[in-house]
Chains A and B, each alone.
Chain A
Amino acid sequence: MSLWKSFNQGIIKENPVLRLMIGLCPVLAVSNNAINALGMSVAVAFVLICSNAVVAMIRKTTPDEIRIPIFIIVISTFVTISDYVMNAFTPDLYAALGVFVPLIVVNCIILGRAEAFAYRNPVLNSILDGVGMSLGFALALISIGVIREVLGAGSVFGIALFNPAVAATIMVLPPGAFITIGVLMAALNKFENKVQ
């Protein structure tokens, strides 16, 4: 697989959230404002790129039978690192993301890319796949976060746009996540159909 394609496919064509529909749990939970969405995207990108790289590196020496436990060890190591680092250097963001940072460990995107891509491809391709998938994840998550924050709280990245009393609070509550993600999926499908 070409390097460009490894990188490119995760952004729109196989967007993990809006096309593959994996990793929806953190997407629904932390997309209530743009800053949380950005923080989660960075954490997922770090874990995904690192774990893809390491899994690709060790793929020749890893016995098939225990590859899943080994993936989990690799992933959880990087998740714990990002957990410690965020707690130490960005305590506010850490408090806002709550339990969802440790839960990256069971995010299907990460284990899914390790198993479906990194375990079968060279290191460079795997890193590029991680970058592309992370960008796709960030694109979806931040779009949802911005839409929900603007409509539901009248601000974007914490900067007030209009009187929050006018904003539809439901958009920052759980139903707003489902409505936004559904509308975005529909829009992307429509767009892709037109392109084809």
Chain B
Amino acid sequence: MSFNISVSPHIRLPFDAKSIMWVVVLALLFPAAAGVYFFGLPALVLIVFTTLVAVITEAVCQWLAKRPITAADGSAVVTGLLLALILPPTFPLWMAAIGAVFAIGIVKVLFGGLGFNIFNPALAARAFLLASWPVAMTTWIRPFDAVTTATPLFLVNKMHQAAPGYWDLFIGNRAGSLGETSVLAILIGALVLLLTRVIDWPAPAAFIGSVALFSWLLGHDPWFAIMSGGLMIGAFFMATDYVTAPVTTKGRFIFGLGCGIMTVLIRYFGGFPEGVNYSILFMNILTPLIDRYARPKLFGGR
């Protein structure tokens, strides 16, 4: 039996850290299933393989550091699964393995393990892979027939071509990362997390809302802006991370707003077609600062 000692107020949730992780895994299975449906068997292989490598890496690192092995607590599963979902569907397995090792070994374990990492491990690994193998990381395929093509964001914002229809964007019938394409599947997963109160609304709402608002102000189609790229999966599954995002409602709102502004800046004024990845990583750095600014006032304090 273990006793947890902490100062008040105590927030009570129906779950402990371990079962929260498995709820997140459950929610992630919806976009994962959509990815397998659209991109076929290679997508399934990539998901299973990346997740396995992430879990094994965590176990090996903890064994090397002579610490208790907690690789089965679900957090490594979440990282591996998330990483696979933000990779191109045909990404080479050995590169994905290096990405998973980097995510767990460098970004998570070296910074102290679960709860101490500064950056979202999956996103940091994606940035690492993008800088390492830019060609493989930007080779996209069309759903079903696997013909190489560009993503809608790239075509519209950098090549000034017509956007695909809203329905295709919504169900996920477009080129993109494995699990980012289907807005529908991500929303179902997000609904699971919101209903079980594993995540709350401020960060995703501020993130998606600000991208829509600023896109509209800059003369772009706001519906296209929020349904393309990795915005949905980033807003619901990464900007809500317990470890790397702020803890208070106000802080989470600021976090989401910052992510939205950075995303818009990168998409319309930067060299990359998509900016969700870097915007969340950038805001991860600011999280301690936001937490300090948005700290709730002590009762009776000024």
Contacts and interface: CB of A to CB of B under 8 A. Distances in A.
Given A168-B98, A168-B133, A170-B131, 7 more contacts: A168-B132, A169-B131, A169-B132, A169-B133, A170-B128, A170-B132, A179-B106
Contacts of B134: 169
A173 B106 CA distance: 17
Contacts of B106: 179
A161 interface: no
A165 B136 CA distance: 10
Contact of A165 (B98, B128, B131, B135): B135
A175 interface: yes
Contacts of A171: 132
Main secondary structure of the interface of A (DSSP, over half): helix
A175 B133 CA distance: 14
A173 B131 contact: yes
Nearest to A182: B110
11 contacts: A165-B135, A168-B98, A168-B132, A169-B131, A169-B132, A169-B134, A170-B128, A170-B132, A175-B128, A175-B131, A179-B106
B137 to A, nearest CB: 10
Contacts of B132: 168-171
Interface in A23-63: none
Contacts of B128: 170, 175
Interface of B: 98, 106, 128, 131-135
- Shortest 8 CB-CB distances between A and B: which pairs? A168-B132, A170-B131, A170-B132, A169-B132, A173-B131, A170-B128, A169-B131, A175-B131
Contacts, number: 16
Of B106, B128, B132, B134, chain A has the most CB atoms within 10 Å of the CB of B132
Contacts of A165: 135
Of B106, B131, B134, B135, chain A has the most CB atoms within 10 Å of the CB of B131
Query: What's the interface size class on A, roughly?
Result: under 10
A171 B106 CA distance: 14
Interface string A153-182: 000000000000100111101010001000
A171 B102 CA distance: 13
Contacts of A169: 131-134
A168 B98 CA distance: 10
Contacts of B133: 168-169
B153 to A, nearest CB: 23
Contacts of A179: 106
A169 B98 CA distance: 13
A168 B131 CA distance: 8
Contacts of B131: 169-170, 173, 175
Contacts of A175: 128, 131
A169 B136 CA distance: 12
A179 B105 CA distance: 12
A173 B129 CA distance: 13
Of A169, A170, A171, chain B has the most CB atoms within 10 Å of the CB of A170
Contacts of A168: 98, 132-133
A114 to B, nearest CB: 36
Nearest to B135: A165
A18 to B, nearest CB: 17
A169 B137 CA distance: 12
A130 B300 CA distance: 62
B121 to A, nearest CB: 15
A168 B99 CA distance: 11
B130 to A, nearest CB: 9
Nearest to A171: B132
Of A165, A169, A179, chain B has the most CB atoms within 10 Å of the CB of A169
Contacts of A170: 128, 131-132
Of B106, B133, B134, chain A has the most CB atoms within 10 Å of the CB of B133
Contacts of B135: 165
A171 B134 CA distance: 13
A173 B130 CA distance: 12
A45 B263 CA distance: 46
A165 B135 CA distance: 9
A79 B128 CA distance: 37
A102 to B, nearest CB: 29
A105 B98 CA distance: 40
A36 B286 CA distance: 35
Contacts of B98: 168
